[in-house]
Copies of this chain bind each other. A is one copy, B any other.
Amino acid sequence: MSVIDYIAENETRFLEELKDYLRIPSISTDKEHAGEVARCANWLVDHLKGIGVEHVELHETGGHPIVYAEFMEAGPDKPTYLIYGHYDVQPPDPLELWTSPPFEPEVRDGKIFARGATDDKGQLFAHLKAVEAHLKINGTLPVNVKMLIEGEEEVGSVHLDPWVEANREKLACDAVVISDSSMYAKGIPSIMYSLRGLSYFEIEVTGPSHDLHSGLYGGAVPNPINELGRIIASFHDPDGRIQIDGFYDDVRDLEADERQAFADLPFDVEAFKAEAGVNDVQGEAGFTTLERKWARPTLDFNGIIGGFTGEGAKTVLPSLAKAKFSCRLVPDQQPHVIEELVEAHIRKVASPNVKVELHFHHGGKPVITERDNPAVQAAMRALKKSWDTDPVFIRGGGSIPVVATFAEVLESPTVLLGLGLNDDRLHSPDEKFDLENFYQGIRTAAYLWDELA
């Protein structure tokens, strides 16, 4: 029997096992559920041993435990891959909006509905079942496989980074495979090969040392909101291009074939506008919407406050105005460089009559895994074999911090093999996972080990 036949023959059992996994309310944000989170980690340990992965470790972290496993019998001349996933889930509230209870998985219309179905229990489980199929049919895996499954992804992976750093050698690998994101669309298998990074700022502008009466002082002293407005406006030109000296210096231009590939993707701008609730799209001139959100850097204000914000009118000339803003960064921009450029820009444009303070919040580097990376190419072949259609390359506009951690600490590229769909309602009621994607995901993961070998 082939690995693929084994998968087909066991689909029903795989689904029942996934239901067992989904029944555990491993809600990491809720202290009262800590016992359930621990039970889920132990369930995984037992399940991994049950499918034939003998080397399984449970690591306490100070928060929720990390499950680590490895199967190294392919030998030192074979490549090694790390599968990352998480077994914790978001809280299910508001409960009354669920069609069926969040921890009583129910299949309807070819989808399984439960909290964690797509984020990330179902997607990770596909990899476990592919490992099982290889071990049952071949008694081994064609490559060495390590697994890192954390229980704190939904609470910011607070203990993961130090653990990865402390276990750098244990985790050494040729590439990381993560299934914790979405395909471009139903029936369009995809590899996400780049994510944007982030620089996050807070600015405080102080004019007078205390609030003043706008009648007695207005027109004769600097107003911090007026001045902050000037600073906000200074960041973009009318073409939506960011006007910070040097800001684009490290931006890697989109290659012609990337732009063509994005242009070839089905994209319904009206649907995008409706989803965002905007009159029209708006952004940097000369780029499409997909290019703007995937491959161009941004500067967006996230919040602002100053002066009188209550009901009615108060003729105050305020002392202070402050705002938060952030840049989404693209390869090869570096957060620390962008911080310096933003600071220099503000020093240049701000009135000398106001006091301007700039604080830096966390930053994150953008990541890109070259499309010709062997692991990426292997994943593309595996996708094509299982889906019988050409997979596409996509990028992501947000950040997945763990990807940057793996790039920095392990110096390993990551293959983002999303099995979810954009309408899977992760973090919301009626979260679901498409069963076709589940079974195709198992097949893709099974093919992947052969292709990687």
Residues of chain A touching chain B, judged by Cβ–Cβ distance below 8 Å, are 196, 198, 200, 202, 207-210, 212-223, 225-226, 228-236, 272, 276-284, 289, 292-293, 296-310, 312-319, 321, 323-326, 328, 351-355, 361-362, 396-399
Contacts and interface: CB of A to CB of B under 8 A. Distances in A.
A223 B278 contact: no
Nearest to A317: B300
B298 A302 contact: no
Contacts of A325: 225
Residue among A210, A221, A292 with the highest chain B CB neighbour number at 10 A = A221
Contacts of A218: 293, 298, 300, 328, 397
Contact of A292 (B219, B306, B396): B219
Contact of A216 (B208, B225, B397): B397
16 contacts: A198-B215, A198-B315, A209-B276, A209-B277, A214-B326, A217-B293, A218-B300, A219-B283, A226-B236, A226-B299, A228-B304, A230-B233, A232-B232, A277-B319, A302-B315, A303-B318
Contacts of A304: 225, 228, 304-307, 309, 321
Nearest to A396: B215
A300 B221 CA distance: 10
Contacts of A310: 303
Contacts of A209: 276-278
Given A218-B397, A328-B218, A397-B215, A208 B278 contact: yes
A301 B307 contact: yes
A282 B328 CA distance: 35
A425 to B, nearest CB: 15
B303 A308 contact: yes
Contacts of A282: 220-222, 351, 353
Contacts of A316: 302-303
A285 to B, nearest CB: 12
Contacts of A215: 196, 198, 328, 396-399
Nearest to A240: B219
Nearest to A214: B300
Given A215-B398, A217-B293, A305 B309 contact: yes
A404 to B, nearest CB: 13
Closest 6 CB pairs of A and B: A229-B232, A215-B398, A209-B277, A233-B233, A225-B301, A303-B307
Given A214-B300, A308-B303, A318-B302, A328 B219 contact: yes
Contacts of A315: 198, 200, 302, 326, 398
A60 to B, nearest CB: 27
A279 B232 CA distance: 22
Given A303-B314, A326-B313, A298 B233 contact: no
A12 B219 CA distance: 44
A276 B306 contact: no
A100 to B, nearest CB: 26
A399 B315 CA distance: 11
B228 A229 contact: yes
Given A212-B276, A225-B232, A226-B236, A307 B302 contact: yes
A236 to B, nearest CB: 7
A397 B217 CA distance: 7
B277 A210 contact: yes
B221 A281 contact: yes
B235 A226 contact: yes
Contacts of A305: 304-306, 309
Nearest to A299: B226
A236 B279 CA distance: 28
A355 B279 CA distance: 8
A197 to B, nearest CB: 10
**Residue among A281, A296, A300, A318 with most chain B CB within 10 A:** A300
Given A225-B303, A277-B208, A307-B302, A328 B234 contact: no
